Amino acid sequence: MSEAAVSANPQATGRPTPDASAAVKRISNRVLVDGKLRAALSDESFEVINPADLTVIGHAPRCREADVNAAVDAAADAFKSWSKVPARERGRMVQLAADRVEAERGLVEHILALDTGNALRTQARPETASTIDLTRMFGGLAGELKGQTVPAASPGVLQYTTCDPIGVVGGIIPWNAPLFLFVAKVAPALVAGNCVVIKTAEQAPLCVLLLAEIMSRELPPGVLNVISGFGEECGKPLVEHELVRKVTFTGSLPVGQAIASYAAPKLCPVTLELGGKNPSIILADADLDLAIPGVIDGMRYTRQGQACTAGSRVFVHEDIYDRIVDGVVERLAKIKLGDPLDEATDMGAIISEEQFQRTLRYMEIARSTAGARILYGGERPTDPYLSKGYFYPPTLLDGLPIDSDVCRDEIFGPIATVLPFTDFDDMIAMANDTPYGLAANLWTRDLSRALEYVERIEAGFVQVNQCVAPRSNVSYGGLKMSGLGKEYALDSMVTHFTSSKTVLIKRGTPGPLG
Ligand code: NAI
Ligand code: MG
* Ligand showing the shortest atom-to-Cα distance for residue 277: 1
Ligand 1: residue whose CA is nearest its atom 8: 201
Hey, which of 185, 252, 271, 277 would you mutate to test ligand 1's pocket, going by the most ligand atoms within 8 Å of its Cβ? 252
Which pLDDT score is estimated for 5?
A: 40
Distance 202 CA to ligand 1 centre (A): 10
pTM above 0.85, yes or no: yes
Provide CB contacts within 8 A for 415, sequence distance 6+: 305, 312, 359, 362, 363, 366, 377, 395, 397, 406
Half-sphere exposure of 173 (CA within 13 A, CB side): 28
Distance (Å, whole) CA 128 – CA 180: 7
Which pLDDT score is estimated for 209?
A: 98
Hey, which of 48, 63, 65, 172 would you mutate to test ligand 1's pocket, going by the most ligand atoms within 8 Å of its Cβ? 172
Strand order, beta sheet including 31-33 = 36-38, 31-33, 224-227, 195-199, 168-172, 244-250, 270-273, 483-484
Distance 458 CA to ligand 2 centre (A): 26
Best CA proximity match to 393, nearest among 278, 305, 307? 305
Contact 223, 190 (CB under 8 A): yes
Distance 260 CA to ligand 1 centre (A): 14
* Ligand showing the shortest atom-to-Cα distance for residue 256: 1
Amino acid at 331: R
Contact 243, 166 (CB under 8 A): no
CA 403 to chain centre: 28
Phi-psi region of 199 (alpha: psi -120 to 50; beta: other; left: phi over 0): beta
Which pLDDT score is estimated for 7?
A: 43
Ligand 1: residue whose CA is nearest its atom 10: 231
- Taking the CA of residue 181 as reference, the ligand 1 atom at the shortest distance is 40
Q: Is 441 helix (H, G, I), strand (E, B) or coil?
A: strand
Which pLDDT score is estimated for 18?
A: 75
* Ligand showing the shortest atom-to-Cα distance for residue 227: 1
129, burial (CB in 10 Å: exposed 0-12, middle 13-18, buried 19+): middle
Distance 317 CA to ligand 2 centre (A): 36
Distance 513 CA to ligand 1 centre (A): 63
Which residues line the pocket of ligand 1, CB cutoff 6 A? 172-174, 176, 199, 201-202, 230-232, 235-236, 250-252, 255, 258-259, 273-275, 308, 358, 410, 412
DSSP assignment string, 282-322:
E-TT--HHHHHHHHHHHTTGGGTT--TT---EEEEEGGGHH
Distance (Å, whole) CA 125 – CA 348: 13
Hey, which of 255, 350, 362 would you mutate to test ligand 1's pocket, going by the most ligand atoms within 8 Å of its Cβ? 255
H or E stretch covering 33 = strand 31-33
* Ligand showing the shortest atom-to-Cα distance for residue 172: 1
Amino acid at 168: V
Distance 349 CA to ligand 2 centre (A): 18
- Taking the CA of residue 256 as reference, the ligand 1 atom at the shortest distance is 2
Q: Known catalytic residues?
A: 273, 308
Distance (Å, whole) CA 253 – CA 264: 16
Best CA proximity match to 275, nearest among 300, 242, 241, 247? 300
Contact 484, 272 (CB under 8 A): yes
Distance 320 CA to ligand 2 centre (A): 39
Which pLDDT score is estimated for 1?
A: 36
Dump pLDDT digits (tens) for 97-155: 999 999 999 999 999 999 999 999 999 999 999 999 999 999 999 999 999 999 998 99
CA angle 230, 127, 4 (to 5 degrees): 60
Ligand 1: residue whose CA is nearest its atom 32: 412
Ligand 1: residue whose CA is nearest its atom 29: 252
Distance (Å, whole) CA 61 – CA 45: 4
- Taking the CA of residue 229 as reference, the ligand 1 atom at the shortest distance is 11
Distance (Å, whole) CA 229 – CA 436: 28
CA angle 151, 153, 156 (to 5 degrees): 85
- 4 C-beta neighbours (distance < 10 Å), count: 16
Distance 173 CA to ligand 1 centre (A): 8
Phi-psi region of 206 (alpha: psi -120 to 50; beta: other; left: phi over 0): alpha
Distance (Å, whole) CA 372 – CA 484: 35
Distance (Å, whole) CA 494 – CA 143: 11
DSSP assignment string, 474-492:
S-B--EETTEES-BSSHHH
Which pLDDT score is estimated for 188?
A: 98
CA 410 to chain centre: 15
Distance (Å, whole) CA 421 – CA 491: 37
Ligand 1: residue whose CA is nearest its atom 9: 201
Residues of the chain with pLDDT under 50: 1-14
Amino acid at 3: E
Distance (Å, whole) CA 377 – CA 395: 4
Half-sphere exposure of 436 (CA within 13 A, CB side): 29
- Taking the CA of residue 254 as reference, the ligand 1 atom at the shortest distance is 2
Contact 345, 385 (CB under 8 A): no
* Ligand showing the shortest atom-to-Cα distance for residue 263: 1
- Taking the CA of residue 258 as reference, the ligand 1 atom at the shortest distance is 18
Distance (Å, whole) CA 127 – CA 181: 10
- Taking the CA of residue 276 as reference, the ligand 1 atom at the shortest distance is 41
Best CA proximity match to 248, nearest among 226, 269, 275, 227? 269
Give the dihedral sign, CA 75/78/79/80.
Answer: positive
